[in-house]
Amino acid sequence: MNFEGKKILITGATGGIGNNLVKRFIELKAKVCATGTNSEKLELLKKKYNSVLTKKFSLSEHKKIEEFIEEVDKDLGGLDVLVNNAGVNQDNISLRLSEQDWKKVIDINLTSTFLMSKYSIKKMIKQKKRGKVINITSVVGHTGNFGQSNYSASKAGIIGFSKSLALEYAKKQININCISPGFIKTDMTEKIDQKFRDLIISKIPSGDLGTPEDVSNCAVFLASDMSNYITGETLHVNGGMYMS
């Protein structure tokens, strides 16, 4: 698990999972570019991990994504692994969900994953060596969730997109896989009302929420040479939650 010399781009790097992804790959001596929209949190990442390259960028700016990938590729000296971790939610029951809120979640979660993958894969192919794309989805992309029709649709879309992409680029030695977290201990889940939190935990066979480390460990495996014969798959990190 030595990533020395590997160039890795991580989106959504300032959240709970994203922050841990940066930490793990830095510990394994990878050259990491961390991107997000929160300048203060990016600055904290830089102070914590001196070697990390940080870039403020909004994935909603679709027309600038190709230019952004060009810049990252140049600054890192190549691109071996892309981790599409960024995502947003705009929750409401479907009858109250506006078209604008639907589009916002689909555009950032799904369309941005398509564009980031597209332009990153172009760079990986030019390098003529194996590349990895890891897309962070969600258990609700498999089960659906009350009040999250847009979010669930975006995450389910990423899974189908990844399977198609894996077929298209397998012969180019580009592996595309997903990680589907269940309920993970982050700042967001810490704010959940205790009664609702207890209800969630009661539905998890393992009896507890997962940790960002649980997700990062899977990402490390999928980014490593140990997973070279795995593509088009989804690793479920959910403590055994039922999936239809």
Show which residues are catalytic.
151
Q: Is 88 exposed, middle or buried, given 0-12, 13-18 or 19+ CB atoms closer than 10 A?
A: middle
Q: Which two tokens stand for residue 230?
A: 């795995």
**What distance in Å separates the CA atoms of residue 9 and residue 134, rounded to the nearest whole number?**
10
Burial class (CB in 10 A: 0-12, 13-18, 19+), 236: middle
**CA within 13 Å, CB half, 238:** 23
Q: Which amino acid is at 7?
A: K
232's torsion region: left (phi>0), alpha (psi -120 to 50) or beta?
Answer: left
Residue partners of 186: CB distance under 8 A and separation at least 6: 15, 16, 17, 212
